[in-house]
Amino acid sequence: MGLVRLDSGKTGFLGPAGTWSEEALLAHTGLTTADAVPLLSVPDVILAVSKGELDQGIVPLENALEGSISVTLDYLAFEVENIFIVREIDHPIRQKLIVKAPLQLGEIEKVISLPHALAQCRRFLRDSLPGVETAAAGSTAEAVKMVSESPEKWAAIGSQLASDIYGCAVLEENIADRPENETRFALLRAEPAAQDLSGSYKTSIVCTIAHDQPGSLLQILQEFSNRYVNLTKIESRPSKKGLGDYVFFIDVEGRQADPPVAAALKCLECKLARVKLLGSYPAG
């Protein structure tokens, strides 16, 4: 089987036009805006790919400042079975304070954005806009669109792309709390990526233990440690079955078919209630 061309086909993203998801998609693939399909939510993107309504989708996985995107992890773990990460994209996030028309900071009455974006800019909001009301939007682009359509003295936190699309102006550049701000995105398809022999790969899994007992997590980790497989991420999330019941999201270096990774996965499948493969894909 040849490699799937990852930058082909209709691709869903969290809309409307101008979100960081769209910017990452256009910046790191061969796609144009004609190939990009805005959807209302991250679950909508995942479900559209799962149902075959779109060829692929891009969703945020984690942010360097605010951590994992829980809705993405939960849908990948619990809501769909035929979805695979086929590529990861690390994209710098340079949040901007955006207004409809030039304003002084002291004139701004409300700041609107995605809750994650507001959280990434806590220090700026505290120091430069103390006491100014904040409000949540479904995406950074939706926030910019709201500001562009309102006569009020509102501002949005979002991307340069959104500012350009909705005819707004950037009042302040790079307002995130830390300049290292970036988001890891996943490109999803309904079939796994073919394994190339060149370049670095990651393999992502979700592990479910049968019941809580001492050493359960250690048993998982030892399968990789004993084979010198490096873990790049491990995180617990509620299993949705009750308080204190968790699943573990794990990213490891290497391909699913690499002998050490394959052996570790096989042993885990014998020990655990469930091991779900989220994908084995080129590393960002």
Q: Any idea which residues carry the catalytic annotation?
A: 183, 185
Please report where in the chains the tokens 């340079």 appear, as a residue: 94
**Number of C-alpha atoms within 13 angstroms, CB side, residue 6?**
22
- Give the per-residue SS3 of 172-216: ECCCCCCCCCEEEEEEEECCCCCCCCCCCEEEEEEEECCCCCCCH
* Total residue count of the chain as it appears in this document: 284
Smallest CA-to-CA distance from 54 within 7, 12, 5 is with 12
Sign of the torsion formed by the C-alpha atoms of 89, 39, 194 and 206: positive
With a CB cutoff of 8 Å and minimum separation 6, the contacts of 112 are 134, 135, 136, 137, 143, 146, 147, 154, 155, 156, 157
